[in-house]
Structure formats: structure tokens, C-alpha cells
Amino acid sequence: MGSVRATKPHAVCVPFPAQGHVTPMMRLAMLIHSRGFHITFVNTEFNHRRLIRSKGLDYIKGLPDFQFKTIPDGLPPSDRDATQHVPSLMDATRKNCLAPFKELVLKLNSSSEVPLVTCIVSDGIMSFAIKAGEELGIPEVQFWTASACGFMGYLNFTELIKRGILPFKDESFKGDGTLDKAINWIPGMKNIRLKDLPSFMRITDITETMFDFMGSEAQNCLNSSTIIFNTFDEFEHEVLEVISAKFPHVYTIGPLHLLGRHVPESHFISQGSSLWKEDSKCLQWLDKREPNSVVYVNYGSITVMSDQHFKEFAWGLANSKHTFLWIIRPDVVMGDTAILPKEFFEETKDRGLLTSWCPQDKVLAHPSIGAFLTHCGWNSTLESVSAGVPIICWPFFAEQQTNCRYACTTWEIGVEVNEDVKRHEIEALVKEMMEGEKGKAMRQKAREWKKKAMEATDFEGSSYKNFERFIKEALLIGE
């Protein structure tokens, strides 16, 4: 086995343990693997069990040179098929993951079965890996899985405190117009208001977990040798220019799922990395629909809402009279099961399909999809842009608010739903997007962005070339 050790570079990939982070990290790992690397993909034990439930044991056996390993997340055991409580997860990964992760890497390096670990690719909010890399003398790179504009928002959390904007004195900031205040002092970000910054800044106490965690993890990224962004230059160029001036080793290599089209399709790669069981029957259902006629509705893997909002969305869709595909996770309604009245099903029986999870990139690329009602998570935003589909935005938390603002102003592909959802508003926005002039203009804009995203990931495109450079300059150091 001595020869194996010498021949292949070996990357250890460690995503933050939530679906929106596992998906892009898996795409990146596949791409690195296609360049001749041995891959060790590190999930938490909790998510590893979910992956087995969703994909079966054969999937996690991987390939001879693509293996799955686990580390504990330090949280109490749970069997729920849902993302764990996010603040607890942030706190736990920050406090508990360094030691088991280092132990895992040392174990890999003492095994004669696999090549020596030559680099660590870690999620931008798992910065303990920077420390592990330093202590073990292994090059480490950070993969920021969200938007560059979101990253810029987090980098300015400390500035909000310095300027005396945070913490807010009491909860009245939520309704008194404070959040509508324009912000013009963040370099590279124009046309934004306080409420367009990542939502974790809405605090009355600066020790609040998510505010502290995201602000410091973004700063920690700057301690790494390299940061990768799942975006393309033209899409976020103003913010990217400012980040690159601050931090020279930035590689924009997105949209990753488009870059992935150059990888030879193996059984393993085609499977994706969903932690929920996917229902692909919806693709056959879409085959029977007219082009651009279906509204696709999916709030991502974490968003939750009140039963009242859930029903407003339902009746808004029903009253729009448009055909829709609605993904409803079992845990989408807070503290309750998502149950819709039978009148709703009667009203929509010939034109609505409800299911619990689906292969989203395939759905969005389907010709029958005309608009996407989304929480504006970064994977969803990129997949929508790559498919040329305009979006109706209902951001939930984190930098989804920032993505939503960019979609509605800078990229001109989206409209925003009020935080307090009302059925007549949903009905009007769906109709406007599917039949109106504004909708037509946004669909045109989305198609233009799709063309640019395709060009960026083509053989001579900026993201393609950046990925090649990233492999040579950041991962094959000293090879």
C-alpha cells in the first residue's frame, strides 16, 4: 500500500452540519475528487445517520477513494429527521469539534489504507479546522458556502457595534422603522437598509449566540490561507472586488452545480447528498405541464413558519389559479404538523402537487417551471439563476435577507413578500410573476444571468479557470 500513500493527494472536507452547507461541500468534494484526489468527507454522527436513512448504506460506502467519516457534534442524541436547533449547533461545533476532528485526521495519517492528508477544506463557519490545520501542519482552506454579499454583511457586524447602532435598546426596533434606515458605509454594498443585513444583527444583546458566532466566524475566515466562494465574478463583482482587496487569496468557483457538468457522471455523483428522502415522481408530473406554467414553492431545509402563515401561503397559491409544485417538509410549521384544510385540496386538485422533498436543481431546470417562491437561501438562489427562473422572495433568516435585497434590486430577478404573509399578496405576486409585464421582464433578466452563469463555468470561463488555479495554487502546494 506504500504506493497509494505516495501517489494521491488527499483532501479532508468538513461541512457545517446543515443541508444548505452539506450540499455545496459535497459538490466541491466531487469536483476535487475528479481531479485525482482521495476524499474524506466528514459529517457529524447525527447527519451521517440521516444520510444512511435517506440514501441507504451503499451510498455511504462511497468509492475506494471517496470515504465518509464522522465526528460527534457534542449535542444530546436525537432521532428527529430535521435540522437540529441552529444556535445550539453553532455553539456545539465551535466548542466541541476541534479535538475529535484533529483525532480523526491523525488517525487517517496513521492508516496505511489511505494516502496522507495533504489539505483540509472546511466550511467557512467551521473555523476550528483552521486551528487543526495549523497544529497539524496541513494546509487548510475555507469554503464560504453562502453569498459574498452575505459574507460582507457579517464582516461588518463589529462595525455596527462601533457605530453605536447595536445593540438595539429594546424590541421596539422591529416595528418603529429603525430597520428601514439606509446604510451607505459598507464598501461594495449599495442600495441597502439595516434590514437587508444578515438577520442575526437584530439583537438587544451582543453576546447573542448567532450574532457572535457568525460575526466571528466570518472574521476567522480571514485567518485562513484561502477562501473559496460559490459564486461567479460578474454576479457579485462589487463586493468581491472589496473582499479581494482585503484578502488576496479568494477564488470564485460557482455556481458549483454548473461546474459539476464537466465531471464524468458516475453512479455516485448522480446521487446528490440530500439528508431527506427525495421524491423524483414530481419530475414526471412536471413533464405533463406546459412550459413556464408551474410555480415551484420550497422554503429550504431550515425555515419554519406559523400555522397562520402556512395557510396564507396555501390560499394565496390556490386563489392565483396557477399550477404549483409545493415542497412541504414535515417540520415546516412551528411546533405543529403541517395540515391543510380539505377545501384547499378540493380547490387545487387538478393543479397542485404537494411532496416532502425533491431534487431541486432538476426541478428548477425543468422547462415547465415559471417562477420559484423561495426563502432565498444561497443554494436555491444560485440554482434558480442557473436555470433562468425568476424568484418570489420570502427570506427567513441569516443572509437570506441580503440575497433577497440583491435579487430585487441589483440582479432584478425577484420580488419580495412581506414578512407577515397575506393570501391576497401571494395571489397578486404569483399572478404578476406568471402573467404580468414585470414578471416577463424578470424572466428575461433571469435568462441573461443564466447565460452568464453558464459562461462562467464553461471551459474558458472565469469560474472554471479559478477552480483550476485553486487546485494548483491552494491544494497541490509542494506537490
Return the domain boundaries, the chain: 10-149+207-274+457-475, 280-435
Is residue 123 part of the annotated active site? The answer reads yes
Domains 10-149+207-274+457-475 and 280-435 share a fold: yes
Catalytic annotation, pick one of 33, 38, 48, 123: 123
Cα 141 to Cα 214, 250, 259: the distances in Å are 18, 10, 19
pLDDT digits (tens, 9 = 90+) for 263-305: 876 645 555 677 767 888 999 999 999 999 999 999 988 888 9
d(CA 159, CA 161): 5
Among 389, 391, 377, smallest CA distance to 19 is for 377
Instruction: Give me the pLDDT at residue 2, please.
Output: 46
DSSP 388-408: T--EEE---STTHHHHHHHHH
Is residue 21 part of the annotated active site? The answer reads yes
Q: What is the pTM of this model?
A: 0.95
pLDDT digits (tens, 9 = 90+) for 98-140: 999 999 999 999 999 999 999 999 999 999 999 999 999 999 9
Superfamily of domain 280-435: Glycogen Phosphorylase B; (3.40.50.2000)
The backbone torsions φ and ψ at residue 347, rounded to the nearest 5 degrees and listed phi first, read: -65, -35
Residue 85's Cβ-side half-sphere holds a number of Cα atoms within 13 Å equal to 11
pLDDT digits (tens, 9 = 90+) for 354-384: 998 899 999 999 999 999 999 999 999 999 9
Catalytic annotation, pick one of 10, 21, 48, 366: 21
Scan for cell 470564485, then name that residue: 252
For the chain, the residue count is 479
Specify whether the CB–CB gap between 394 and 417 falls below 8 A: yes
Q: Which CATH number fits domain 10-149+207-274+457-475: 3.40.50.300, 3.40.50.2000, 3.30.365.10, 3.50.50.60?
A: 3.40.50.2000
Maximum alpha-carbon separation in the chain: 68
Question: Higher confidence at residue 357 or residue 162?
Answer: 162
Instruction: Give me the pLDDT at residue 137, please.
Output: 97
Residue 1 has pLDDT above 80, yes or no: no
d(CA 187, CA 82): 37
